[in-house]
Homo-oligomer: A and B are copies of this chain.
């Protein structure tokens, strides 16, 4: 039994029709023709609390991204390519039609279906300014009107809606955070002054958690408290967190550095800021359009842009880096035990995807330090591994068969660091094609691991290094090569990325994943993921300040899936050195069986 993840199929199509009918009745009562129901919550979070699961409550769809548009006479659920099949299975398609985003965007669907002269309603707390501009353009094309609602219409009709989460808010000790609240606030205020801003709305709870060295548990897998903060360039910041969840320790740790206030005091505080004519930075990625409206209506100047905290949080300090390394060493013991167990058990042919995910979680729990998994494990056998965002449920659960590939992408939340690792394993004999593809993915992984690049380089500039070995074979993968990662925070953290869209400059101290892959639909999938740390590199004879990556994750890469003749000497040397480091670091702390397994799993190729 997994403690931190569920494999149940949540929601069911049956509930949709009645709830949609109730929503339509509410629309009629208000003289509205339709309502937009995004998956996002007030903070545009990846994981949302139960009381913000409006989309799944209404439609039955439980994917992590999607938008429903319910009109009087028709309704659509627009989802991206990851969720096409899932949407078909989870919703009552006779009442709400699943629509593929790549073919018809939310905006295109609205433009084509909203009758001219009618009003489409939306909740201004669930859309960013950018998102709203797109909705406006769509409604314009339809000849309709866009109408904000004061209270979300789903909340009006959702009888048993759960209360807002109230997980305790606790301090994140300086021994893990590495920088005091005071020092962080000084840096933020300095930045606000430099940018001639009077205040910052912290709409991203990750940034609130980082700034005030607080952690919570309001959403799954990310230890943060939901709430807002206001940080003026001069004077005392305010934290809008339900007092019922703020522990005494958290209050004491923040001390006199910020005021705690009721969440209900947040909107009036925006009005007050606006009333003073303040220029207020609102994060364009996570800030709801309601924030800007409120400030503007009161006479202030909303300034849409990046919350400067995001970039500060992305660059880890030495305490966070040491914490992450300790977390990785700890996690690696659990992962090594799991991999050894897998090699022992999988040949029986009896293991399922859920068995494996539960086993890995159990090994992590045995570290004694696991706070949560950092996301539900992607435990995928055979063709399921070809779905990069697969999540196993009781109904999709496959047996792990011989001569096939098994992929597990998982991570842990420890108080000193967050981990994220993917390994691709073979049971029995791989085909020559599998070895070829896996080796190309590995070559791409090594190209990132070994990359050196000048200060000022973005993730976009190095992303193709991970793809080149696949491109040479006429292949590619359809996701980014790497995402940022938090320090006992979100497993997906911006703004840095290694991806076509990664336009943030990489800086020493940033942490990212390095995870190229290959997916053969209906057959198998491959991904090799380690976390890496950006670090300065001194190169003799060079004339530029250079950066490179230090790999943080410790786990063998399956040698049975490597075709050694495809590796050049430098790549083989990297792999052997990596495996030697893994062996030397982990062996002393392992049981005899796992140590023997590790010895074999990390034997040199060269």
Partner of A475, one of B461, B465, B476, B543: B543
- Nearest-CB distance from A346 to chain B (Å)? 28
Contact A543 B474 (CB under 8 A): yes
Contact A452 B471 (CB under 8 A): yes
- Nearest-CB distance from A572 to chain B (Å)? 14
Contact A452 B475 (CB under 8 A): no
Which A450-466 residues have C-beta < 8 A from chain B? 451-454, 457-458, 460-465
Contact A471 B454 (CB under 8 A): yes
Contact A474 B568 (CB under 8 A): no
Question: How many A residues are at the interface, by size bracket?
Answer: 20 to 34
Closest to A542 in B: B474
Q: Is A252 an interface residue (CB 8 A)?
A: no
Q: Is A134 an interface residue (CB 8 A)?
A: no
Contact A476 B568 (CB under 8 A): no
Contact A461 B500 (CB under 8 A): yes
Known: A474-B546, A475-B543. A465 touches B468 (CB 8 A): yes
Q: Is A606 an interface residue (CB 8 A)?
A: no
In Å, the complex CA distance between A468 and B548 comes to: 12
A453: which B residues are within 8 A, CB to CB?
464, 471
- Nearest-CB distance from A208 to chain B (Å)? 32
Q: Is A472 an interface residue (CB 8 A)?
A: yes
Query: 5 closest A-B pairs (Cβ-Cβ)?
Result: A474-B542, A474-B539, A461-B464, A454-B476, A474-B546
Taken residue by residue from 494 to 531, chain A's Cβ proximity to chain B (1 for < 8 Å, 0 otherwise) reads as: 00000010000000000000000000100000000000
Residues of A that sit less than 8 Å from B by CB: 451-454, 457-458, 460-465, 468, 471-476, 500, 520, 537, 539-544, 546, 568
Known: A454-B471, A471-B452, A471-B454. A544 touches B462 (CB 8 A): no
A461: which B residues are within 8 A, CB to CB?
460, 463-464, 500
Known: A463-B461, A464-B461, A465-B464. A539 touches B473 (CB 8 A): yes
In Å, the complex CA distance between A541 and B473 comes to: 7
Contact B464 A462 (CB under 8 A): yes
In Å, the complex CA distance between A542 and B457 comes to: 31
- Nearest-CB distance from A438 to chain B (Å)? 15
In Å, the complex CA distance between A472 and B461 comes to: 15
A537: which B residues are within 8 A, CB to CB?
474
Beyond the given A453-B464, A461-B500, could you list 20 further A-B residue pairs with CB under 8 A, ordered by the A residue number?
Answer: A451-B468, A452-B471, A452-B472, A452-B474, A453-B471, A454-B476, A457-B464, A458-B500, A460-B460, A461-B464, A464-B464, A464-B465, A465-B468, A473-B539, A473-B542, A474-B539, A474-B543, A475-B543, A475-B544, A568-B568
Known: A465-B468, A468-B465, A568-B568. A542 touches B475 (CB 8 A): yes
In Å, the complex CA distance between A451 and B434 comes to: 24
Contact B454 A544 (CB under 8 A): no
In Å, the complex CA distance between A464 and B541 comes to: 20
In Å, the complex CA distance between A590 and B451 comes to: 45
Closest to A520 in B: B543
In Å, the complex CA distance between A474 and B452 comes to: 8
A462: which B residues are within 8 A, CB to CB?
464
- Nearest-CB distance from A461 to chain B (Å)? 5
Known: A464-B462, A468-B465. A544 touches B452 (CB 8 A): no
In Å, the complex CA distance between A523 and B539 comes to: 21
